[in-house]
Structure 1
Amino acid sequence: MLLGLAVLAAALASSGAHALATPNLHKRFGEPAVKHSWVEVPEGWMDDGSVPPADHTINLRIGLKQNKIDVLIEQLYEVSDPTSASYGKHLSKEQVEALVAPHPDTVALVEEWLAAHDISPAHCSRSPAGDWLSVNVPVSKAERLLDTNYRVFRRRDNGNSVVRALSYSLPRFLHDHIDVVTPTTMFGSLHEMRSTGFIQPSGFKAVTDDAEPQRLVLPGRLATLPASCGTTITPTCLRILYATDTYVPAATGTNKLGVAGYLGEFANDADLQTFFRQFRTDAVGQTLTHVQLNGGGNNQSQPGVEANLDVQYTEGISSPTPNIYYSTGGSPPFTPDSATPTNTNEPYMDWLNFILNQTTIPQTFTTSYGDDEQTVPNDFAVRVCNQFAQLGARGSSIMFSSGDSGVGAGSCRTNDGTNKVVFQPTFPAGCPFVTAVGGTTRVNPEVAVSFSQGGFSNYFARPSYQDAAVSKFLTGVGTKFQGLFNPAGRGFPDVAAQGNGFQVIRSGRVISVGGTSASSPTFAAVVSLLNDFRIASGKAPLGFLNPLLYSSLVPGFNDITSGSNPGCGTTGFTAVAGWDAVTGLGTPNFTTLKNIVAGL
């Protein structure tokens, strides 16, 4: 986007001032080298033509290189590989922190650099492992530190504003010591993250579990399924469909399920009880634990569709397993008030740092939010992905919805200046350390739902655990869509679950909701029951699932072999036998999966 002449002149003047003010610093530390930059203003945003006041305060976070992150990832795979002697021997909080702590040389160099810019290391807050430094600084000082210019950018759709930069730089020698600095070029804020759920049209009528007497017999099952489950989903549908209906959790004193919430979405306690009375009467009275962080709220007068969907279906399947809803505050619109530091931290960062700082954490997590991968700076994506690896190493299974745009939403054009049309993977679903969940619809048999997002990451290489499954799928695809996706990238989703017509209570009334944001909590609830079974049997929780999913657990999935995920002006990928980039390995059969994990 071109700047007006006056704005451009101001920007150049500001840049010149930085250059004149820092010759001694450049001589001492070397000329700055770009750490990350955008070719153009990211899609959906516009430069509003203004700059923040020089004394406007921001909370700057510096992610120091984690000295033994490669060792941590290696150990993550060892404790997650069912053929390893270390399987299930998850790491403690202290062991993880020891591996991600920065090298002393890194700490010394970064502190010297900060001190040279009159930022006292003593004034910096530090994460328990020391891999994050946080300090409040005037934007003018941040600009000199990062050789950048912060501007005010506005969302085109809702007018929300943030203070961001189109690029930032560090002395070249620090590139090996600093992974990422925020807030800088990450435009996706908690207010701009997309929930992967949506209220469905009236054609998906609301029902109760007793509204349809007709029943369908599932192959190989004695239980019968209400015929209404073909269009409207309730806990009864899912519990019978995925064979959890006869399992009674026995480790509820230890096992927990965590739901990450953003966007000012609040899970309503009264609606949860109404949901239980209508759809899971034996769970009436079970409560939900609310944890608020980073300014997150719990406004019970404003029930959120996404929040209610998530907790009603995690609890509706996993009851009486304790559930925790984490309400994470978001970035407020920018206001030029220098008296109070602006909360400009990015998605997932605050939640992840909070969870990793807890001594005891849930064994299962689900999150129903994501961004187009290309809108997330690579340095930010890699650092966040590695934080998910830390959670997995500590024994947690992490589910993310894959997205609701087939192989890509909108024009599918790249934002690197080439303006090419390519398939658009999502983040964090494309991170190899999370389990991405796609969507299905109908029953007897289930088929892929058309919006189920899937494809291949452009940031993360295909992990070895899915080599065989993905290679087979790619052989079937052949030269179709050549050039539209990265065949060497991490494939997603990994698994799938129902994603259409979920009956949700909001403000005391039933609405119908769809999206892979329904699929992720559903699959997470099944995983939570598997963790319950493991813990009750004296075994470790499953932890990072993917190496196990693509090996021992394959027989425990209902293979989805029809349907596709159109997008980007194409027909998209097609569900086939085995893994596919629409429904992954398929949907879970709890009974079979339970029998498999019993022997691990």
Structure 2
Amino acid sequence: MRLTILPVLVFNGVMSFAVATPLQNTTLKHSWDNIPRGWSFEATPDPDHTFDLHIGLTQNRVQDLIHHLMEVSDPTHPRYGEHLSKDEAEALAEADPASLNHTTSWLESHGISASRITHRKSGGDWLTLRVSVSEAEQILNTQYSIYRRAASEERVLRSLSYSVPVSLEPHIDVITPTTYFSTLQSMRATSFLQPESDPAEDIDALVGPIFENVPIPMGCSTTITPACLRALYNTSSYVPVSMGQNQLGVAGYLEEYANRADLQTFLKKFRSDATNASFPTVTINGGQDDQTKPGIEANLDIQYTIGMSYPTPNIYYSTGGSPPFTQDSETPTNTNEPYLEWITGILSRDTIPQVITTSYGDDEQTVPVEYATRICNMFAQLGVRGITLFFSSGDSGVGGGDCRTNDGTDRILFQPAFPASCPYVTAVGGTTRINPEVGVSFSGGGFSRYFSQPTYQNTAVSGYLAHLGSQHSDFYNPTGRAYPDLSAQANRFQVVVGGRLVSVGGTSASSPTVAGIFSLLNDYRLAQSLPPLGFLNPLIYSLSNHTRTTSGNDTPSPGFNDIVSGSNPGCGTNGFAAVEGWDPVTGLGTPDFGKLQDLVS
């Protein structure tokens, strides 16, 4: 297929093109002032190239959905634990029939027949239609271009803005793919190899028995294994009994495949009582399960969720979306949106694991606010069904790179991470060392600029803000959703990849660790005929009595090991500091399973 490069007009450094259909009686849904950082204009696409356009209709009852979520997640409310069914949650997420009718009429006016439109109910009402580039440009009063990401040579089809008729503004939440540039390749996996931390040569020294007078196994100050974590977070003596009811899920992207042979090697080395464990891989959106390509991130996640939760059944979700290309490599034939593909796939299922961990994220500012809001509301839809969602908080402290804003002002601000900044997920930060643990320097944490601070954390966060005073006041939003919510070890995890032992760090290690612990708490509750914990944050923030200490900070939250030292520098600053009570480095602290057992029963 031959591409025709059209003349380019440049305004304020942004390449633009004349649009065939003039803007008439339309409203702008979203636009970028500049091409998002890391991407550059590559070419003009063939106008006949086709792709799937997704239209998210306005969820008129989303506030009712959030209201239900908060009631069933609040341990002081009479409805605590009365999670909704799939059908009940979908009813609260659906659009008004008028929105469906008005939007389909609009599409028909552009020559899109009803037979070309697919209506999906998962995650609210979504319309999917196969369109050509020229059709999409006319419908959305925009110009699509092919953009290239220098870091990976990845090419995507995106626009810098899009509009809808004024009359449809109340009926449409978001349309994709348009201005959200992130893809499965540009998402960050929040883990990294640590070649400077050599794997232990003497494996037996790491997995020796936990003697009565030695609560933490030898070697845990330099390398982390399941034995270290089980001792550190007090799960060693618990034996799960609700395997027929309880499940733990791991979300995988980026063609990262969890390898079963590596799991067996890992368990033989580090948890010999679990060597009969395995896991199924469930594919979403064309995901695969290539056992010849073990992934570091995937193996880290599944080895430590199973290592912490055995014999609880684990499931690995492999989400597809890496762009295939036609013979003409300049023309992308894939425009998947990473979180949208995964969560719609999960929400469509009747049975979902009670706990799911995800170790990927983006800078919040790179995600259009309309898209982030819709995805966050879809996470709430999972929560109201009794699902606990853990997301790693990121590995860039308060922000990586130059921390400059992409809103045209080019200011230097702390850069919160998404989805960790969504108030309906539980964000997990990182610690290092033992006796005592300290906040690890790369632990992502801060305050959202998209989502306001939820009431469940107001008291805990106000103590930290009082302690902080005017420090960093020009860099963050004190009224935003604060994160992380809790934390766990994040350094020197021993992982088997391709039969070899490697050392891995990152909050990607923290999130599956915490997921395993709370999966055990669900097991404990289910054994008592109690419902699973579901959306966790109202519970864990309510555990603290929030009385003031002489230093003016909050007291530690019962059930958690308070982390009082460490910081998360970034953006040319020393970042935030860990203190007594909640802080934006380690949240409420690291979990103590034994204490939490007493609090959740």
The amino acid across from 2:258 in the alignment is: A
- Compute the displacement of 1:211 (Å): 1.4
Give the Å deviation of 1:12: 10
Partners of 1:208 and 1:78 lie apart in 2 by 51
- Aligned position for 1:74: 67
CA RMSD of aligned residues (A): 2.1
| Inter-CA distance 546–335: structure 2 relative to 1 (3 Å threshold) | same
Distance 1:486 1:204, change over 3 A: farther
* Equivalent in the alignment of 1:109: 102
Equivalent of residue 535 in structure 1, options 486, 504, 526: 526
1:511 is aligned to 502
Equivalent pair of 1:180/1:383 in contact (CA under 8 Å): yes
Match of 1:63 among 44, 47, 56: 56
CA contact (8 A) 2:197 2:492 kept: no
1:100 Cα shift?
1.0
SS at structure 1 position matched to 2:18: helix
**8 Å CA contact retained: 1:492, 1:581:** yes
In the other structure, the counterpart of 1:7 is: 8
Q: What SS does the corresponding residue of 1:225 show, helix, strand or coil?
A: coil
- TM-score by structure 1 length? 0.94
Counterparts of residues 587-598 of structure 1 (less than 5 Å): 587-598=590-601
Mapped contact 1:59–1:342 kept (Cα < 8 A):
no
Structure 2: how far apart are the matches of 1:593 and 1:487? 30
Q: Which amino acid aligns with 1:131?
A: D
Aligned-partner Cα distance in 1 for 2:356–2:80: 20
Q: Is the contact made by 2:19 and 2:143 (CA closer than 8 Å) also made in structure 1?
A: no
Deviations 1:48-85 (A, max 9, x none): 1x111011011000000112111010000000000101
Shift of the 249–68 alpha-carbon distance from structure 1 to 2, 3 Å rule, reads: same
Contact 2:249 2:356 in 1 (8 A): yes
Q: How far is 1:369 from its partner?
A: 0.1
Deviations 1:553-583 (A, max 9, x none): 6300000000000111101100000000000
Distance 2:202 2:376 in 1: 40
Aligned to 1:156: 150
Q: CA deviation at 1:341?
A: 8.9
Q: Which runs of 5+ in 2 are unaligned?
A: 545-556
Q: Report what 2:84 is aligned to.
A: 91
Q: How big is the shift at 1:162? A: 0.2
Indicate the residue corresponding to 1:434 in structure 2.
425
Query: Once the two structures are superposed, what CA deviation does each residue of 1:426-454 show, in whole Å capped at 9, x if it has no partner?
Result: 00000000000000000011000000010
Contact 1:235 1:317 in 2 (8 A): yes
Are the structure 2 counterparts of residues 213 and 17 from structure 1 closer, same or farther at C-alpha, using a change threshold of 3 Å?
closer
Name stretches of at least 5 consecutive residues in structure 1 with no aligned partner: 20-25
Contact 1:226/1:237 (CA < 8 Å) preserved in 2? yes
Could you say which residue in structure 1 is the equivalent of 2:277?
Answer: 286
Say whether the 8 Å CA contact 1:162–1:334 is kept in structure 2. Answer: no
Which of 549, 565, 570 is matched with 1:567 structurally? 570
* Counterpart Cα distance in 1 of 2:592 and 2:164: 50
Q: Report the Cα offset of residue 357 of structure 1.
A: 0.6
CA drift at 1:124: 1.4
The amino acid across from 1:409 in the alignment is G
Q: Return the letter of the residue paired with 1:265.
A: E
1:187 to 181, 191, 203: 181
Structure 1 residue 214, shift from structure 2 partner: 9.2
CA offsets per residue over residues 126-164 of structure 1, 9 Å max, x none? 213561111111111001010000000000112110000
Whether the 8 Å CA contact 2:119–2:128 is kept in 1: the answer is: yes
Q: 1:316 aligned to 2:307?
A: yes
Corresponding position: 1:18 with 2:21: yes
Structure 1, residues 165-199: CA drift from partner, whole Å, max 9, x if none? Answer: 00011112212111100000000011110000000
Q: One-letter code of the match for 2:567? A: S
Kindly state the Cα deviation for residue 342 of structure 1 after the two structures are TM-superposed.
2.6
Does the CA-based 8 Å contact 1:59-1:344 persist in structure 2?
A: yes
1:353 aligns with 2:344: yes
- 1:191-590 aligned within 5 A: 191-206=185-200, 210-211=204-205, 224-332=215-323, 335=326, 342-552=333-543, 554-590=557-593
Tell me: CA distance 1:12–1:251, structure 2 relative to 1, closer, same or farther (3 Å).
closer
Q: 1:499 to 1:33 in 2, by over 3 A?
A: same
Range with bigger deviation, 329-338 or 450-459 = 329-338
Distance in 2 (alpha carbons) for counterparts of 1:211 and 1:122: 65
Residues 346-374 of structure 1: CA distance to partner in whole angstroms, max 9, x if unpaired? 12111100111101110000000000000
Distance 1:215 1:278 in 2: 13
Q: CA deviation at 1:35?
A: 0.3
Corresponding residue number in structure 1 for 2:554: none
Distance 1:163 1:547, change over 3 A: same
Provide the C-alpha distance between the structure 1 equivalents of 2:204 and 2:573, rounded to a whole number of angstroms: 41
User: 1:266·1:303 contact (CA, 8 Å) conserved in 2?
Assistant: yes
Q: Which amino acid aligns with 1:52?
A: P
Percent same amino acid at aligned positions? 57
Amino acid at match of 1:211: A
- Alignment correspondent of 1:22: none
Matches within 5 A, 1:111-190: 111-128=104-121, 131-190=125-184
Q: Which amino acid aligns with 1:596?
A: L
Letter in 2 for 1:194: R
Aligned residues of 1:501 and 1:513 also touching (Cα < 8 A): yes
Q: Distance in 1 between matches of 2:163 and 2:366?
A: 19
Return closer, same or farther for 1:591/1:223 CA change in 2, 3 Å cut-off: farther
